[in-house]
Chain A
Amino acid sequence: MLKTLLFSTCIALALSACSLEPVQPWDRDLLAQQKMQLVADPLEIYLDEHTYFSKEASSGGQSVGGGGCGCN
């Protein structure tokens, strides 16, 4: 049930994106800033992912690659 709801939400979000007004290159000054990137501080995210990878059963979702460890 939860998975169906999540997938439906994703499809609705994807469809709603099609109706958005495109943002032109000259309007992307804010989006070009480092703090507006999806991963604004890659090292902080890397260290967080490594920490939680070794303490929880879930990992990933944001990107692929990066490697594993025999962490305890």
Chain B
Amino acid sequence: MQLKKTQRPRNIRRQLAAATCTLLAGTTHAGSLIASGDNWKIDSALLIYAEKDRVSLAEGVLNIRKEIDDDEFINARIVTDVLTGSSPNGAVPSNTAQTFTNPSGNSSYTEAANTTPLNHTFKDLRNALSVEWDTPFSRSLRGTLGGNISREYDYLSTGISVSLAQDINQRNTTLTLGISLNKDTWDPVGGVPVGFTAMPAFPAKKAIDGAKTDKTVKDILFGVTQIINRQTLMQLNYSRGQSDGYLTDPYKILSVLENDGSGNLRGTNPYVYENRPDQRTHQSLYWKGVHQFHNENVLNVSYRYFWDDWGIQSHTVDLRYRFDFDGGHYLQPHLRYYQQGAADFYRQTLTDGEENTLSYASADYRLGEFVTQTIGLKYGFEFKNGAEINFRAEMITQKGKDRSADAVGILQNQQLFPDNEAYLLQGGLSLDSDMVIKYIMGFFKK
């Protein structure tokens, strides 16, 4: 005789939570969101990011979440982005026009005098997929297993992650342990350039070290989340990561100057490819606090201190303050401040012969000393059925500091760090699958 497996009562915790929320809070929005767990929860967003005279990007994200069993979830995120425009190639501006060879080696481009040299060939399509399985192991322990893959025409990133969350102290404290492993492969246009070799003038070909190269990135994170009181929550994380392999940017170069302090480019081979260490260890401390005031407005603030063995240190403060209005409307200003110190091997120029004596050098502005400031505003509207629509606009400015030792002679009249200004527009829509089905059925009934 075959015994029939007893049907497991599904979603009891969710229904209890929904009932509790509805009874205690009386908030139809929170209640309906949780009660909609039998359906697929669909979140989508479209981002338009545009830098002044540089890169433009459109990025679409679709996130689908489904409760597959009692308190057990599957989450899938699909991302597509299209990038076009120009990116600083690492060379410094000059008082004369400069000609560079494209990464493919099949053509060249010329930049006007007194302008930041940009590589204009960036056109990229990226597709990414990540999937997470989030399940309880016991009443107080849950785990998340994730996998991700991201593909660009010259870059492939694959990774897995595992995290465990243990509730203690009557579920007022959660201890988190997370690890991840990423394996990335570069397939740069024109091959992998040999560090510190010359960017040859077209039609000569650069020296390469194969067509492909790769790196691995391992991360570990320890975290504590603490409920402080009925209105306040805090999180504190320590994370450490190690990257091994090819950490250089195959498209970045450095300007090489004459040794006479004039600031003039040297006569032959004035540009060389950058060269970075093949290992990097970074660490960070991250703190976040969320607090709801008596007027129901919510403050979400975080601070991160980051440091690595390349000599980079950074401080990041991020602040969002949500004002709730009647009828489901809200406004959320956003401020972000980021300050970074330069890597030990960051150089804006080299002098003739230094490429033979230095171990590493890069003029990538992202390794320099700079400040990023962000100011933005988000508007959202929560429908009574739990759906939400939102929009945000932000302005990002990046201002760097020139290395005085590199700004010699005629370069003292140039701005070596490529300051940047970018605008970000985003629209988002969140709803449940039953809302989509109802809409489609209604459309066909018409």
- The chain A residues found within 8 Å of chain B, CB to CB, are 2-3, 6-7, 10, 13-14, 17, 20-38, 40-44, 46-47, 50-52, 55-58, 60-70, 72
Contacts and interface: CB of A to CB of B under 8 A. Distances in A.
Given A32-B21, A46-B61, A17 B128 contact: no
Contact of A36 (B20, B122, B298, B305): B298
A52 to B, nearest CB: 7
B59 interface: yes
A47 B169 CA distance: 34
Contact of A41 (B87, B285, B324, B428): B428
A29 B4 CA distance: 39
A4 to B, nearest CB: 12
Interface in B293-316: 298, 300, 302, 304-308, 310, 312, 314, 316
Interface of B: 17, 20-21, 24-25, 27, 29-30, 33-34, 43-45, 47, 49, 55, 59, 61, 63, 77, 83, 87, 122, 126, 128, 130, 132, 146, 148-150, 152, 154-155, 157-161, 163, 169-173, 178-180, 182, 184, 186, 217, 219-221, 224-231, 233-239, 241, 251, 282, 284-288, 290, 292, 298, 300, 302, 304-308, 310, 312, 314, 316, 322, 324, 330, 338, 340, 343, 366-367, 372, 378, 390, 392, 396, 398, 420, 424, 426, 428
Contacts of A69: 126, 128, 150, 152, 155, 157
Contacts of B24: 26, 29
B331 to A, nearest CB: 12
Given A20-B228, A22-B170, A60 B184 contact: no
Q: Which of B59, B251, B300, B314 neighbours the largest number of chain A CB atoms within 10 Å of its CB? A: B300
A60 B21 contact: no
Contacts of B186: 70
Given A38-B235, A46-B77, A51-B49, A62 B288 contact: yes
A20 B171 CA distance: 13
Given A33-B25, A44-B426, A70-B152, A65 B338 contact: no
Contact of A14 (B154, B236, B282): B236
A72 B304 contact: no
A30 B20 contact: no
Contacts of B30: 32-34
B45 A44 contact: yes
B180 A43 contact: no
Contacts of A47: 45, 47, 59, 61, 426
A72 B288 CA distance: 28
A56 B372 contact: yes
B45 A68 contact: no
Given A65-B160, A67-B157, 11 more contacts: A17-B234, A30-B230, A32-B21, A34-B30, A47-B61, A61-B285, A62-B237, A62-B286, A62-B302, A64-B219, A68-B217
Nearest to A68: B157
Contacts of B163: 63-65
A60 B428 CA distance: 23
B219 A51 contact: no
A31 B122 contact: no
Contact of B154 (A17, A61, A70): A70
Nearest to B217: A68
Contacts of B307: 3
Given A58-B312, A61-B239, A72-B87, A20 B306 contact: no
